[in-house]
Amino acid sequence: MREPIRQQLKGAFPYCKWCGGSGCMGCDQERRKYQEQRAKPIFSADRDNPEDMAALRRVIGREALEHAFGPDGDGMAEVEYNAAVESLLQALRKSRRTSEEPIDEPEQDATTSPTLARVAEGDES
């Protein structure tokens, strides 16, 4: 059986945004980007960290998903957005923690989106 032409082209990448898989100069780079993306989970939570778990619920919890895929939601884009926000907040939390070592912060109640804004402003309540 004959191979399709594009597979004879070395380095052709099927998800390449430039050539769509027929093989071009951008394929290598597109493949790298794709693999990096796949290797990286959209949000990673530490199971022993209540803040992480609360954040995880805000990303993929039932309410978060119901909103994202509900009538007012943006679907996967919304989930990815929430994941990006939570990853950022998580990074901030962890960088703060390394300087001030273990603080037992009270666990926040894990409601959905409105919490995001509150957390982003810092917990001054």
Interface with Zn ion (CB under 5 A): 16, 18-19, 24, 26-27
Please, what's the largest Cα pairwise distance for the chain? 69
* Residue closer to Zn ion (CB basis): 19 or 89: 19
Q: CA-CA distance, 44 to 76, in Å (whole number)?
A: 17
Q: In the bound complex, which residue of the shown chain has the CB atom lying closest to Zn ion?
A: 16
Task: Quickly list DSSP for 94-124.
Answer: HHHHHHH----PPPPP--STHHHHHHHT-S-
Least separation, in Å, of the C-beta of 4 and Zn ion?
A: 15
Helices (H) and strands (E) in the chain, counts: 6, 0
Least separation, in Å, of the C-beta of 10 and Zn ion?
A: 12
* Residue closer to Zn ion (CB basis): 28 or 63: 28
Least separation, in Å, of the C-beta of 15 and Zn ion?
A: 9
Q: CA-CA distance, 92 to 73, in Å (whole number)?
A: 27
Least separation, in Å, of the C-beta of 37 and Zn ion?
A: 16
Q: How far is CA 125 from the centre of its chain?
A: 28
Torsional sign, CA 56, 92, 47, 45 = positive
* Residue closer to Zn ion (CB basis): 16 or 54: 16
* Residue closer to Zn ion (CB basis): 3 or 72: 3
